[in-house]
Each structure stands twice: as C-alpha cells, then as structure tokens.
Amino acid sequence: MKILTCKTPGTLEYGTTDVPELKPGFALLKIKRIGICGTDLHAFEGTQPFFSYPRILGHELAAELVDAGNAEGFETGERVTFIPYFNCGHCIACRSAKPNCCVNIQVCGVHTDGGMAEYLQVPDHLLVHGEGLSFDELALVEPLAIGAHGVRRADVQPGEFVLVIGAGPIGLGIMEFARIAGANVIAADVNEHRLAFCKDNLKVEHTINVKSEDIAERLKEITNGDMPTVVIDATGNQKAINNAFLYLAHGGRYVLVGLQRDELIVSHPEFHKRESTLMSSRNATRQDFEHVINSMKKGLVDPQTYITHRVSFDEVKDRFESWLDPANGVIKAIVEV
C-alpha cells in the first residue's frame, strides 16, 4: 500500500509498505478521506510540541470498514470514523472516564503513525459509526469534536458572551458549538479573511481584528462593560494566551484548547481578583464525537462549509507546503484516497 511520511521538518516522502496484518483487539480501515489539521502543518514546519520524526501524519480520517475485529454492531463495508486517541484503559484518567487525557496516550499521527496511507489498523473499541454521513463529513468529526469538548469543559450557558481567540479550524468548531449551546460568540483573530468567514458562514455577530482594534475596548462595548464570562484560546500562541487573562469577566472561565511550548505568564492579582477558573481542554471523548455527529445530522453544523481545498493522495506532497501560506485562504484541506 502507498504511504506518505514526514521524514523531517519540511520533507514529505511517498513510499510503500505491506497492508497491516490485523492484531487482536484492532480493526482494519480502508482510508477514504484525510483532513489536514494544524498538528500536521506544525509537524511539517517543525513547530509541533512533543513530536518525533519520521512520522506518517493524519488523524482526521474517514474510512470504509474492512474488518471490525471484535467490535460488536459494526458491519464490513460501512462508513466509519474513529477516536484517534489511543488510551491505555487502566491509568487514573481512564478510570475516571477521561481517556482523552490518558497518562499513556498515543495520538494517531502524532505519537504513532497515522492515516496518510491506504489502510490503517486502529483499536476496535474506538470505532465510531458513520450514521449515514458522507466520507467528507466524517473526516471533519474529529476536529469539530475538539471544539465541542472545549465548549463542554467551559460549561457554556445560553446567553453568555464567549470570546474565542483564533479562527482556525479548531477555533471555528469552538464557535459553532458555543453557538449551539446558546452563547453570544465573539471571534478574535489577526486574519481578516478568517473573520469574514466567521461572519458569512458561521453567522458570528461580533468579530475583532486583533491587529487593528483595541480588543479590550471592543469587548467592553460588546458586553456592556462586563467582559466575556468565557474565554477560549485556540491559537497556541504564547502572547495571545497570556494577554487573554485580562479579557475575562470577574467570575469567568478561561479554557486553553491551543497548545504552546512555554510558560503561562499571568498577573496573579488580576487573576485572583476575578476569582477566575483556568482549565485546559485536551482532545475529545466519545460523548463529544456523538454530539458532533448528531449536530451534523440535525443540520446544526454544515461540514462542507469548512472544506476550501481538495486534492488526491498523489498530490499531497506537492501541495502541502502551500497550505501554510495564509494568502491561500485554507480553512480545511481534504485529501481523497
């Protein structure tokens, strides 16, 4: 079968290998769609934290089920996706129903080889039914589940002002599920094209261009002086993360979905006087995947809105670097296998 490996930062290489010989406890998938995410792009750039090379990238996947292994209720040939966070099942997190932050987690395409291949075997207990969705739709379930999980961590309530910093694919998913939860969403980014996308496609009423506007003053205007009761970062940018502590309402919650390498720097008096709550949000759970799929089936989320670029598997190597350039307007690139 064909594979595409990120050998070193900036280097992708096609190759061939045997179709995986199915191990006990695993299912075999024929990959049909691969979504390109920030993790893949950062790995190619050499800026992804805690990453090692060489690595077959790809964890936003839709597939045809070839062999379900021991998974009950699945049929050969059905459309599926899967939860790409391979958890151990016995650590404190797993025992606490938080497999998304398993102590021994192996994320497909990050810690183990991923789905830029014709076939992939995955733990059979992580399979997710396609529920009649298309391959395109199923490839977008995982990134949207990241957003849904962040919103659930924040416990967003109807009518709250929720500031989402970063209008990349993960940030857009956060906005969608904050809206579904009934929030008044505020999008902040440095890219005017992406802010326009928020307005035109996601119906986000309030947008702030961080480069050209005073974000604190705009937030006061939008919230009638209260500031947002929820702030969610989806940038993974140290400066943006540290600055956002000052955008939070008294009594508010700050959730970090984006990941960066360095320290959080916060004025303790500013944080303390607000009696703020700081949380991280890592990956997603089956509950979040099911919420995304149900939202798609109800028409609350239109996955096709996100797909701006589409290529065949054989074109990925030549096109990949172009997806890093903001001028190309990439929201989500999808690979057809």
pLDDT at position 326, please? Answer: 87
- Over 90: is that where the pLDDT of 184 sits? yes
DSSP state of 299: T
The predicted-structure confidence for 261-282, as pLDDT tens digits, reads as follows 889 999 999 999 999 999 999 9
What's the average model confidence in pLDDT over 285-295? 98
- Over 80: is that where the pLDDT of 49 sits? no
**Sign for the pseudo-dihedral over CA of 320, 146, 279, 198:** positive
pLDDT at position 285, please? Answer: 98
Query: d(Cα 331, Cα 34) in Å, to the nearest integer?
Result: 14
Query: d(Cα 45, Cα 36) in Å, to the nearest integer?
Result: 14
pLDDT at position 159, please? Answer: 97
Query: d(Cα 135, Cα 303) in Å, to the nearest integer?
Result: 11
- Over 90: is that where the pLDDT of 259 sits? no
The predicted-structure confidence for 112-165, as pLDDT tens digits, reads as follows 999 999 999 999 999 999 999 999 999 999 999 999 999 999 999 999 999 999
Query: d(Cα 106, Cα 207) in Å, to the nearest integer?
Result: 36
Query: d(Cα 165, Cα 91) in Å, to the nearest integer?
Result: 33
Helix, strand, or coil here: 67?
strand
**Residue showing tokens 């998913």:** 173
Same fold, 2-140+306-336 and 147-280: no
Q: Taking all residues of the chain, what is their mean pLDDT, rounded to a whole number?
A: 96
Query: d(Cα 60, Cα 116) in Å, to the nearest integer?
Result: 10
pLDDT at position 260, please? Answer: 85
- Domain spans in the chain, listed from the N-terminal domain onward: 2-140+306-336, 147-280
The predicted-structure confidence for 52-110, as pLDDT tens digits, reads as follows 999 999 999 999 999 999 999 999 999 999 999 999 999 999 999 999 999 999 999 99
| Residue 144: CA count within 13 A, CB half-sphere | 29
**Domain 2-140+306-336 falls in which CATH fold?**
Quinone Oxidoreductase; Chain A, domain 1 (3.90.180)
**In terms of DSSP bridges, do strands 277-280 and 307-312 run parallel, antiparallel, or are they unpaired?**
unpaired
The predicted-structure confidence for 193-242, as pLDDT tens digits, reads as follows 999 999 999 999 999 999 999 999 999 999 999 999 999 999 989 999 99
Give the amino acid at 170: I
Give CB contacts under 8 A, 24+ apart, made by 263-270. 263/238, 266/242, 270/245, 270/246
This prediction has a pTM of: 0.95
pLDDT at position 282, please? Answer: 97
pLDDT at position 193, please? Answer: 92
Nearest to 177 by CA among 211, 140, 209, 212: 140
Helix (H) or strand (E) holding 42, with range, is: helix 38-45
Q: Which CATH superfamily is domain 147-280 in?
A: NAD(P)-binding Rossmann-like Domain (3.40.50.720)
